[in-house]
Amino acid sequence: MSTPSLKARISAALAGDGLTPLHRLGQNFMVDEAAVAALVAAAGPLPGGRFIEVGPGTGVLTERLLAAGATVLAVELDQGLHALLQRTLVPLGLQLIHGDALATKNRLHPAIEDFAAVGPWRLAANLPYDVALPVILNAVALPIPPERLVVTIQKEAAQRLVSKPGDAAWGATAAVLQAAGEPKIVRQLPPGCFFPPPRVDSAILTWSPQRPLPPGFGRWCRDVFAYRRKVLPGALRDAGMARDRAEAACIAGGLDLTRRLETLSSSELVALFALVRADQPTTHD
């Protein structure tokens, strides 16, 4: 007798608890063995690792992490899936939280923040599309950011995060993420890798930290990118800085006053932010 496919096992687990994928929660369960293996491989060494998983679903990734000797804190919003995981994986050592991974748009669930504050940790997850970017950006902005991030997200979002100045997708989100580390797309995933299949392609994205994210940089970056097509002094002025001080900051940073804000790299933006913050304190994120 052949072994049931991963999709068949997930379908059976859901049916056994009277559950179906919920579109409103962005539930697209990973059902491709090769894709799951790629996600696990990209997560790095597992034994002894401390992982946070957002939206564990039926526990396909979770059980692999636990079996390899990792410590896992999972946050699941779906009450039915939480009950399933409570019965199947909590006895194996899973630390399970029932709730939203986002306390607010700019804050992660307190349990995630507490777990991350203890020491080195990694984020590994098949993220629901609608919370993917805020989860990623809030994670890398923590005082102790993940030492490794490996997630599945919408392909278009992944391409935005790895974009560069001059690309149409370049913006505040990519600039903030790249100011703190290096994102990479390691694998593209067609809709058939998930159940139910989404209407778009997905990708496995990794990120590794390189430098601390300056406090307040994320909010400032989002503010100035609202004026991305303006030349630097004009963008800074419209974001709330006096024009003469904006020009002085650009000159001090060796930046051409005729450059548009959208042409700046993440490192140039960080340097400019330091000059702006020195001139007038910026509210922290």
DSSP string covering 40-65: HHHT---TT-EEEEE--TTSHHHHHH
- Residues 225, 199 share a domain: no
What's the confidence (pLDDT) of residue 1?
57
Residue 284 lies in a domain: no
Q: What is the CATH number of the domain that holds 268?
A: 1.10.8.100
Residue 74 lies in a domain: yes
How far apart CA 73 and CA 92 sit, in angstroms, is 12
Residue 285 lies in a domain: no
For residue 206, the cross-strand partners are 150, 184
Q: Say if residue 282's pLDDT is above 50.
A: no
What's the confidence (pLDDT) of residue 75?
98
Q: Summarize the confidence of residues 256-276 as an average pLDDT.
A: 97
- Residues 148, 25 share a domain: yes
- Residues 226, 199 share a domain: no
pLDDT digits (tens, 9 = 90+) for 27-53: 999 999 999 999 999 999 999 999 999
Q: Could you tell me the residue range of the domain that residue 249 belongs to?
A: 217-279
Instruction: Mark out the alpha helices in 165-209 (DSSP H runs).
Output: 172-180
pLDDT digits (tens, 9 = 90+) for 182-207: 999 999 999 999 999 999 999 999 99
- Residues 192, 81 share a domain: yes
Using the 3D structure, point to which of 209, 242, 270 is the last residue of a domain.
Answer: 209
How far apart CA 233 and CA 201 sit, in angstroms, is 39
- Residues 193, 113 share a domain: yes
Number of domains in the chain: 2
